[in-house]
Amino acid sequence: MHQLVEQFLKLKLVKFTRKCDPEAAPRWIEDLEKAFKVLGCTKEEKVILAVYQLQDMASDWSKATKGRVFPEGSTLNWTVFTEVFNGKYFSETAQEQKMLGFQQLRQNQMTIDQYEAEFSRLSKYAPRMMVERDMKERAAAFGSQFMPARDNRQFGKRPMMGNRRFVPPVRRNNGKPVYQSN
């Protein structure tokens, strides 16, 4: 463990203090995960090293919640730590704001590179929307054969008269006499 700590400290990662920036917490976790991958850390070592990187109020929070998150006799688990940490420092409101920012993202006056960077930055907060967007782009690229049909008749349902899209079939000879010219 001593050698691992030395290697970890040589990476000179940023310590986490309670910041007002809502992106600070997930960014810090991402940086740690990169380091852990390089070092080949176990789940338990990840928690120990992450807790070491907490400072000020974040360190106080960790000490106060350690007994509840990891009761005596339980093993330290990185997944549990990240869920609790993000719950504290990356609230649902902040996540929803980032998701909304992704939904409302438009290129407007941005260059293509700026737009792509902003798209990539915000897309990690809306992974489900990324899948939906990807499916829509594929459907558009391959034509309407992959687009869901809007016509209820294809699903064995009868069209409703109140449906604005329903257009009754054209009738010929609506009970009026047909005039034939000779």
Whether residue 12 is contained in a domain is answered as: no
Is 169 in a helix, a strand, or coil?
coil
Name the phi and psi angles at 16, rounded to 5.
Answer: -100, 125
pLDDT mean across residues, the chain: 76
pLDDT for 4 beyond 70: yes
One domain, residues 81 and 111: no
Same domain assignment for residues 78 and 124: no
Output the pLDDT for position 22.
Answer: 72
Of the pLDDT bands very low, low, confident and very high (cuts 50, 70, 90), residue 150 is low
Tell me, yes or no, whether 152 lies in a domain. Answer: no
Predicted TM-score of the model (pTM): 0.57
Residues 26 and 85 in one domain: yes
Summarize pLDDT for 43-83 with one digit per residue, the tens: 999 999 999 999 888 888 888 888 888 888 888 889 989 88
Q: Does the residue 14 lie in any domain?
A: no
Per-residue pLDDT tens over the stretch 24-41: 888 899 999 999 999 999
16 inside domain: no
Compute CA distances 66 → 41, 83, 177, whole Å: 20, 13, 89
Name 76's Cβ contacts closer than 8 Å, sequence gap at least 6.
Answer: 43, 44, 47, 48, 70
Tokens linked to 115: 């737009």
Question: How many domains does the chain divide into?
Answer: 2
Amino acid of residue 60: D
Write out the residue range of the structural domain in which residue 124 sits.
95-139
